[in-house]
Amino acid sequence: MKHIETIIIGAGPCGLSAAIELQNRGMEYLVIEKGNIVEAIYNYPTHQTFFSSSEKLSIGDFPFITEQHKPKRNQALVYYREAVKHFDLNINTYEEVSSGRKTGNEFILETSKGRYSCDHLVIATGYYGQPNQLNVPGEHKDKVFHYFKEAHPFFNQDVLVVGGKNSSVDAAIELEKAGSNVTVVYRQGAYSKSVKPWVLPQFKSLVKHDKIDMHFNTEVIDIKDDSVVLEKEGETFEIPNDYVFAMIGYHPDYRLLKSFGVQLNENEYGVAPMHDQETMETNVDGLYIAGVIAAGNDANTIFIENGRFHGGAIAEDISKKK
């Protein structure tokens, strides 16, 4: 079993930021990531444009410079790869943490490649890896997706997009552009206020001109091989369908946190890990959280642009304890 002073689980922007902050203070650390660096960003749609400016996505005072004000997915992938190389960060990729426990003052981690102990543990695992479920018959068919990459494979296909926020609106626009027959259903009665203001007019225009079939107050009841059953305001109807994109959000995985005894507190959005907002330390001494996992089920309160500062608070607190 290898002992590391501080282990960070998750190599997203917030985990990488924490690693940089620890390294800048001369402290020993290791980042363990089940995929490759910034895996969640890699899984974004191919042509995704960020809400934030490149400056607000930067970490460790390493400049992120783009011609456009808002960078695209591929530009972000290049930037974070270059940041890892610039700082020569200590990262184990494609290694998944399977379980953990605290024994005395040490954390013990079991991974797909080994066993570790550490004095301080930072969990920065995000939420994009756990899609929300529709919980309807047929959801686990191969025709159902919870992530949208690009539209070309769905040319001339009947596609249902479920959801009314940015991910669903973006997917629907790209699918229509690629020649899909697009239907969008949203259980609410109006467009979400979170939809990007520069995108919504384009989407509304497609609906107005019958390029996209939009249904509010509508839910999926059943997903069949060649159709889907929908319910709208108490009435059910069936439409032809080849593919379904359930773009209904994602949620954090708290199993590892709970195994260490981290307390989850109820809030208006569900639950969130108990933590000190100044230091990001949880109720378990020496265990910190960084990034969107601190927001619980409300992923609209913590983004890269504010979660990237968690690493500095964590490193400062660990430094004081030393």
Q: What is the pLDDT of residues 274-321, one digit of tens each?
A: 999 999 999 999 999 999 888 766 655 666 777 788 999 999 999 998
Quick one: pLDDT at residue 304?
A: 73
DSSP-assigned letters across all residues of 105-162: TEEEEEESS-EEEEEEEEE---STTSB-----TTTTSTTEES----SGGGTT-EEEEE
Quick one: pLDDT at residue 301?
A: 62
Q: What is the pTM of this model?
A: 0.90
- Interior angle at CA 220, CA 132 and CA 234, nearest 5: 130
Quick one: pLDDT at residue 201?
A: 95
The set of residues, in sequence order, having a beta carbon less than 8 Å from that of 52 and lying 6+ positions away, is 70, 303, 304, 305
Question: Average pLDDT in the 6-31 region?
Answer: 97
Closest among 314, 107, 308, 309 to 322, alpha carbons compared: 314
Quick one: pLDDT at residue 307?
A: 78
Q: What pLDDT band is residue 208 in, cutting at 50, 70 and 90?
A: very high
Question: Average pLDDT in the 198-218 region?
Answer: 96
Higher pLDDT, 87 or 55: 87
Quick one: pLDDT at residue 193?
A: 87
Tokens at 190, concatenated: 């109006």
Whether 51 has a pLDDT exceeding 90, the answer reads: no
User: CB-based burial of residue 235 (10 Å sphere; 0-12 exposed, 13-18 middle, 19+ buried)?
Assistant: exposed
User: Structural domain boundaries of the chain?
Assistant: 2-130+250-321, 144-246
Pick the CATH number of 144-246 from 3.40.190.10, 3.50.50.60, 1.20.140.10, 3.40.50.2300: 3.50.50.60
The set of residues, in sequence order, having a beta carbon less than 8 Å from that of 234 and lying 6+ positions away, is none
Closest among 286, 287, 255, 294 to 98, alpha carbons compared: 255
Q: What is the pLDDT of residues 132-141, one digit of tens each?
A: 999 999 999 9
Quick one: pLDDT at residue 231?
A: 98
User: Which CATH number does 2-130+250-321 carry?
Assistant: 3.50.50.60
Alpha carbon 276 to chain centroid distance?
22
Q: Cα(226)–Cα(221) distance, rounded to whole angstroms?
A: 14
| 2-130+250-321 matches 144-246 in fold | yes
Q: What is the pLDDT of residues 88-122, one digit of tens each?
A: 999 999 999 999 999 999 999 999 999 999 999 99
Least confident span in 62-76, 116-130, 263-277: 263-277
Q: What pLDDT band is residue 269 in, cutting at 50, 70 and 90?
A: low
Report the mean per-residue pLDDT for the chain.
93
Tokens at 106, concatenated: 């040490």
Question: Average pLDDT in the 252-279 region?
Answer: 87
Tokens at 207, concatenated: 């609906």
Question: Average pLDDT in the 52-74 region?
Answer: 91
Question: Average pLDDT in the 252-266 region?
Answer: 90
Q: Cα(132)–Cα(224) distance, rounded to whole angstroms?
A: 20
